[in-house]
Chains A and B, each alone.
Chain A
Amino acid sequence: EDQVTQSPEALRLQEGESSSLNCSYTVSGLRGLFWYRQDPGKGPEFLFTLYSAGEEKEKERLKATLTKKESFLHITAPKPEDSATYLCAVQDYKLYGGSQGNLIFGKGTKLSVKP
């Protein structure tokens, strides 16, 4: 069964304190891994797509990396405005183009950055 596990559930950082969020997954065949950011009471905002092990994507203070079993979202020198819940989702080749739901979401990591 496909699974996506994110850790930690919650992370509190001081402004400027770099850290990483983890997304581990179990799928038959990974077609893509996606990171989203969600602010309270709002819809998720798409951040990155990663397709193959070794791939990296960057946007401002965020960098996403991918291995064969997990992805990391590295946050460098975070600011209070980076506070949000970060969701990871995977797309399984087995489900691709089928009649079932497309994305499997993890439960998210709630990041709080204090000034």
Chain B
Amino acid sequence: DTEVTQTPKHLVMGMTNKKSLKCEQHMGHRAMYWYKQKAKKPPELMFVYSYEKLSINESVPSRFSPECPNSSLLNLHLHALQPEDSALYLCASSRGQNTGELFFGEGSRLTVL
């Protein structure tokens, strides 16, 4: 069982909706990540939080808005998405930002109609 929990597992939304993806970890990790993964492609980094501060934003469109309320929680707020944003959204955590040993959640499968 993964120690990074993501909700919801599946989400269907229209282009005018506002929704959020949630991620929680209780491993005491100080870095948390959002990745986007399309079918048959590797994960693509979106955001990195280190010690609850946004440290990396990989030029992600503003319709994706991350939030880190505390060291255990990470949210991704979604607004006015496009059908091409449909993908598996993965949350991950690690002991620190500069390690390559990431612990991923099972992902949230997003479909934008």
Where the two chains meet, the residues of A that have a C-beta atom closer than 8 Å to any C-beta of B are 31-32, 34, 41-46, 49, 87, 89-91, 96-97, 99-103, 105-108
A-B CB pair tally, cutoff 8 Å: 62
Which of A34, A43, A102, A103 has its CB near the most chain B CB atoms (within 10 A)? A43
Report the count of interface residues on B (CB-CB < 8 A).
26
Enumerate chain B interface residues (CB-CB to A < 8 A). 2, 4, 40-43, 45, 48, 55-56, 58, 88, 90-92, 97-98, 100-107, 109
Can you name 7 extra interface pairs (CB under 8 A) apart from A43-B2, A100-B56?
A: A34-B100, A34-B101, A42-B107, A43-B4, A43-B104, A90-B100, A102-B98
- Cβ of A101: which chain B residues have Cβ within 8 Å of it? 45, 48, 56, 58
Q: For the complex, what is the distance from the CA of A99 to the CA of B58, rounded to whole Å?
A: 9
4 shortest A-B CB distances, which residue pairs?
Answer: A43-B104, A105-B42, A101-B45, A34-B100
A87 to B92, CA, bound (A): 15
Whether A46 pairs with B103 at a CB distance below 8 angstroms is: yes
Residue of A with least CB distance to B6: A43
